[in-house]
């Protein structure tokens, strides 16, 4: 990189490889994907992500060697128009280095896991050709996320913001022609669209904030904007409030806060590695990163900070209640993610940037672990399902693609059947005794998995304990720091978060008892198989990180490593010591929650077909939790239906009837036709030009008719004319 100029020592010149290593990986897989084996594709993609991770490590080392000083690595000029100067500059400081490490580290582990997962998934769905496409998208995502976290201005961040939004769309809709149970349907595409459109609403907020920033603070670049902010804050504080609150809308879209969280549960339609990487560990944390980066702006406006914190806290509690009533293993984790993101947003809202970032990191570890383990469970169930349906593994119909089978089946018959073979085939692919589709993600189909999938079981336990916040796992330390800060500054936020923490432990306990304990409720669960090493080894790495990650920022003197590290970027950070009351209350509540969940779910394990034990006691509350408080339905009625009606009106009445039929057909076309017919045709053409042309012809004819009489055939008259000429000439000579 000889054209990267930087005066600092270290590996800063490697910064562009953060983006371009994944780009190279995706190009290789895109161009040569058809000719490479599945292992090769996966290796290339994982290597590309691994290179990005190594570069992140080197950059982090360089930052620390540089005493935490920020280094910007200019890369390219982008837009230079008038006062607007946007450049592509890589900003390497402690905050962005942290994000880079998390994204590329967890990302690489998930790439490796995905090799094993996708191999089985495309096999179950008979779409082996699509394997390469997944890794292309995954690398694209890493590249876009790197652009997001390494950007030096809000607009570069936005480029990455949009990029990850696109990758989210592409990956959620990876199986675009089916629903989660592989029936032909548009459900997955709808989920992808929902994610993209909801993100768009958030992006609108981000852009408004950006425009306000440019007009009032004069620049998109971080340092310049932050330098100009205090002056504007004293003269017109509402500007900064507006900027921060519009940015909050963007955060609500990307990080799934109220009211724009609705896309994240539907995004579980994507393959599990996608859910782990994008919707747990990295993309959704972009909002938290944004607020942390904008800390100088938020600290100027405490009113906005309170709104942010409250939004996060309410979201945390709201999502936790929904998680209690969910039956799908991934949906529980999805709402858990929303809830934990609420924790992070509340933290950064309160000004506890270190706490928020700490929880971001630990959450990335244990949520990725949980999601990937859930994926392992789901695949295990599918394997068991295939074993239960027919004896040998190899009696699958091989090589048939989804489209072949869709073509073979008539639509009504195919609905409700597993897409594998038409009815009457000897391999009752995926049929259980009732002829309905088998849902391997439904916790009611699981049970007793700790005997059939022990490795996954222990990994899941570690993840759960970390999430629930049991000491000494990582989640305890990070959550505790947030609760500590809330307790000191914002008591309402503290109470909301504490109740949310209680519910977190409860629903995770419920999940453990339902999935891993008791007796297997279906044949598939009884015959489930453990996942291969390529899947379980990354999980083990994540489990270790979940267990020991707390060491990043222990609330003891001298151990505030992360705080010290981030303090280089954020300025003064509050380093809170351990408050035993807060810590004790939260631990007791978590343990109590797990105990209560054992009482309800663990002591009398659920039998197959039995209703959830909470249904009767809680009645309509449980119905609300089960149906996510009908938020989607409310949005549909209040927003989407009127919008459809409005757009239909615009399309029909305004566009079609008025513009097309009236303006275009009648007015413009009619006027043109009148003009061309009456004006031009009748007057100009027929009366004018035609008349002239015809007159020319007629005149020539009459002239020739009269001149023709000279040629009367009589030689004498010809001779006479000669004589006449001679006489005339002589006469002229006489009179000359």
Partner 1 sequence: MTSDLIVFLVLSLVAVASALGMLFSRNAVYSALFLVLNFVTVAVFYILLGAPFIAMTQITVYAGAIMVLFLFVIMLLGAESLPPSEGLPWQKPLAILLAIILAAESVYLIFTRARSNAVVSMPEIATNSMDNLREMSAMLFNQYLLPFEVASVLLLVAMVGAIVLSKHEKVAKG
Partner 2 sequence: MVPVDYYIVLSAILFAVGALGVLIRRNPLIMFMSIELMLNAGNLAFVAFASVYKSFSGQIFVFFVIAVAAAEVAVGLALIVEIFKSKKSINIDEMNSLKG
Distance from chain centroid for Cα 557 = 39
Q: Which does 715 bind (CB under 5 to 8 A by kind): partner 1, partner 2, none?
A: partner 2
Q: Give the DSSP letter of residue 152.
A: S
By CB neighbour count within 10 A (0-12 exposed, 13-18 middle, 19+ buried), where does 172 fall?
A: buried
Assess 712 for contact with partner 2 (CB under 8 A).
yes
Closer to partner 2 at the Cβ: 710 or 734?
A: 710
Closer to partner 2 at the Cβ: 588 or 723?
A: 723
Site string for partner 2, 32-71 (x = CB under 8 A): ----------------------------------------
Q: Which does 711 bind (CB under 5 to 8 A by kind): partner 1, partner 2, none?
A: partner 2
Closer to partner 2 at the Cβ: 433 or 733?
A: 733
Q: Yes or no: say if 55 and 8 are a contact pair by the CB < 8 Å rule.
A: no
Q: Yes or no: say if 525 and 445 are a contact pair by the CB < 8 Å rule.
A: yes
Stretch binding partner 2 (CB under 8 A), from 250-258, 278-286, 466-474, 719-727: 719-727
Stretch binding partner 2 (CB under 8 A), from 247-255, 565-573, 657-665, 704-712: 704-712
Assess 708 for contact with partner 2 (CB under 8 A).
yes
Task: Tell me the closest approach of the beta carbon of residue 705 to partner 2, in angstroms.
Answer: 10
Listing DSSP states for 174-223 in one string gives GGTTB-TT--BSSHHHHHHHHHHHHHHHHHHHHHHHHHHHHHHHS-SBHH
Closer to partner 2 at the Cβ: 235 or 711?
A: 711
Closer to partner 1 at the Cβ: 197 or 720?
A: 720
Task: Tell me the closest approach of the beta carbon of residue 718 to partner 1, in angstroms.
Answer: 11
Residues that bind partner 1 (CB under 8 A): 712, 714, 716-717, 720, 723-724, 726-727, 730-731, 733-734
Q: Please give the helix or strand (H or E) that residue 11 lies within, else none.
A: none
Residue (of 686, 524, 544) closest to 124 by Cα position? 524
Stretch binding partner 2 (CB under 8 A), from 111-119, 324-332, 339-347, 717-725: 717-725
Which residue in the set 719, 725, 728, 731 belongs to the binding site for partner 2 (CB under 8 A)?
A: 719
Assess 733 for contact with partner 2 (CB under 8 A).
no
Assess 231 for contact with partner 2 (CB under 8 A).
no
Task: Tell me the closest approach of the beta carbon of residue 722 to partner 2, in angstroms.
Answer: 9
Assess 703 for contact with partner 2 (CB under 8 A).
no
How many Å apart are CA 290 and CA 285, to the nearest integer? 9
Residue 489 in 3-state DSSP?
helix
How many Å apart are CA 603 and CA 614, to the nearest integer? 14
Residue 74 in 3-state DSSP?
strand
Task: Tell me the closest approach of the beta carbon of residue 712 to partner 1, in angstroms.
Answer: 7
Q: Which does 416 bind (CB under 5 to 8 A by kind): partner 2, partner 1, none?
A: none
Residue 88 in 3-state DSSP?
strand
Task: Tell me the closest approach of the beta carbon of residue 734 to partner 1, in angstroms.
Answer: 6
Task: Tell me the closest approach of the beta carbon of residue 705 to partner 1, in angstroms.
Answer: 19
By CB neighbour count within 10 A (0-12 exposed, 13-18 middle, 19+ buried), where does 725 fall?
A: exposed
Q: Which does 708 bind (CB under 5 to 8 A by kind): partner 1, partner 2, none?
A: partner 2
Listing DSSP states for 96-127 in one string gives HHHHHHHHHHHHHHHHHHHHHHHHHHHHHTT-
Assess 715 for contact with partner 2 (CB under 8 A).
yes
Closer to partner 1 at the Cβ: 669 or 720?
A: 720
Stretch binding partner 2 (CB under 8 A), from 19-27, 107-115, 548-556, 709-717: 709-717
Nearest 5°: the CA angle 444, 109, 63 is 135
Q: What are phi and psi of 394, to 5 degrees?
A: -85, 5
Please name the residue that has the structure tokens 């009767």: 616
Cis peptide before 259 (omega within 30 of 0): yes
Assess 700 for contact with partner 2 (CB under 8 A).
no
By CB neighbour count within 10 A (0-12 exposed, 13-18 middle, 19+ buried), where does 558 fall?
A: exposed
Q: Which does 731 bind (CB under 5 to 8 A by kind): partner 2, partner 1, none?
A: partner 1
CB atoms within 10 A of CB 2: 5
Binding site for partner 2 (CB under 8 A): 708-716, 719-720, 723
């Amino acid at each position: 990189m000889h054209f990267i100029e930087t005066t600092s020592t270290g590996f800063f010149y490697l910064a562009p490889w953060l983006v371009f290593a994944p780009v190279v990986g995706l190009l290789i897989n895109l161009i040569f994907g058809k000719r490479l084996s599945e292992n090769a594709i996966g290796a290339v993609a994982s290597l590309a992500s691994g290179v990005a991770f190594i570069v992140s490590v080197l950059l982090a080392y360089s930052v620390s060697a540089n005493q935490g000083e920020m280094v910007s690595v200019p890369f390219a000029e982008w837009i230079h128009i008038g006062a607007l100067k946007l450049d592509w500059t890589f900003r390497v400081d402690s905050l962005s280095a942290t994000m880079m490490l998390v994204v590329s580290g967890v990302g690489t582990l998930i790439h490796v896991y995905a090799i094993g997962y996708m191999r089985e998934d495309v096999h179950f769905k008979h779409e082996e050709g699509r394997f390469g496409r997944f890794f292309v998208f995954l690398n694209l995502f890493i590249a876009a996320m790197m652009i997001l976290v390494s950007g030096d201005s809000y607009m570069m961040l936005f480029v990455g913001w949009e990029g990850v939004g696109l990758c989210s769309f592409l990956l959620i809709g990876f199986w675009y022609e089916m629903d989660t149970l592989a029936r032909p349907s548009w459900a997955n595409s709808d989920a992808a669209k929902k994610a993209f459109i909801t993100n768009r609403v958030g992006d609108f907020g981000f852009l408004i904030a950006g425009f306000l920033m440019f007009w009032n603070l004069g620049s998109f670049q971080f340092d310049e904007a932050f330098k100009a902010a205090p002056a504007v804050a004293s003269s017109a504080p509402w500007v900064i409030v507006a900027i921060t609150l519009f940015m909050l809308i963007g955060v609500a879209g990307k990080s799934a806060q109220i009211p724009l969280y609705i896309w994240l549960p539907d995004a579980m339609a994507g393959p599990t590695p996608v859910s782990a990487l994008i919707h747990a560990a990295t993309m959704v944390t972009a909002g938290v990163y944004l607020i942390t980066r904008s800390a100088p702006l938020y600290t100027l406006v405490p009113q906005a900070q309170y709104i942010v914190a409250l939004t996060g806290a309410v979201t945390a509690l709201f999502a936790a209640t929904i998680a209690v009533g969910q039956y799908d293993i991934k949906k529980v984790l999805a709402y858990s993610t929303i809830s934990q993101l609420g924790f992070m947003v509340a933290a950064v809202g309160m000004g506890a940037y270190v706490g928020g970032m700490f929880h971001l990191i630990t959450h990335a570890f244990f949520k990725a672990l949980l999601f990937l383990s859930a994926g392992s469970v789901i695949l295990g169930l599918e394997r068991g399902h295939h074993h239960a349906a027919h004896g040998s593994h190899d009696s699958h119909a091989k090589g048939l693609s989804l489209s072949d089978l869709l073509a073979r089946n008539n639509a009504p018959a195919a609905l409700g059947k597993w897409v594998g073979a038409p009815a009457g085939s000897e391999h009752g692919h995926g049929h259980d005794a009732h002829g309905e589709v088998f849902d391997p993600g439904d916790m009611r189909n699981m049970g007793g998995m700790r005997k059939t999938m022990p490795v996954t079981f222990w990994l899941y336990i570690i993840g759960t304990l970390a999430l629930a916040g049991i000491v000494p796992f990582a989640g305890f330390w990070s959550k505790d720091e947030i609760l500590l800060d809330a307790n000191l500054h914002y008591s309402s936020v503290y109470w909301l978060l504490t109740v949310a923490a209680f519910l977190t432990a409860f629903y995770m306990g419920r999940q453990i008892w339902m999935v891993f304990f008791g007796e297997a409720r279906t044949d598939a669960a009884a015959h489930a198989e453990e996942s291969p090493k390529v899947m379980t080894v990354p999980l083990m790495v994540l489990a270790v990180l979940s267990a020991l990650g707390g060491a990043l920022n222990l609330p003891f003197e001298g151990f505030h490593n992360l705080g010290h590290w981030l303090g280089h970027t954020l300025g003064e950070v509050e380093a809170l010591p351990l408050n035993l009351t807060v810590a004790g209350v939260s631990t007791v509540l978590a343990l109590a929650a797990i105990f209560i969940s054992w009482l309800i779910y663990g002591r009398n394990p659920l039998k197959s077909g039995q209703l959830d034990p909470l249904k009767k006691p809680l009645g309509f509350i449980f119905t609300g939790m089960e149906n996510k408080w009908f938020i989607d339905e409310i949005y549909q009625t209040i927003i989407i239906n009127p919008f459809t009606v409005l757009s239909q009106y615009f399309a029909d009445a305004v566009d079609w009837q008025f513009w097309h039929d009236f303006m275009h057909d009648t007015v413009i076309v009619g006027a043109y036709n009148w003009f061309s017919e009456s004006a031009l045709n009748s007057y100009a053409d027929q009366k004018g030009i035609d008349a002239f042309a015809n007159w020319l012809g007629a005149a020539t004819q009459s002239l020739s008719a009269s001149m023709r009489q000279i040629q009367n055939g009589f030689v004498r008259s010809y001779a006479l004319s000669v004589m006449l000429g001679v006489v005339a000439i002589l006469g002229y000579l006489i009179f000359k």
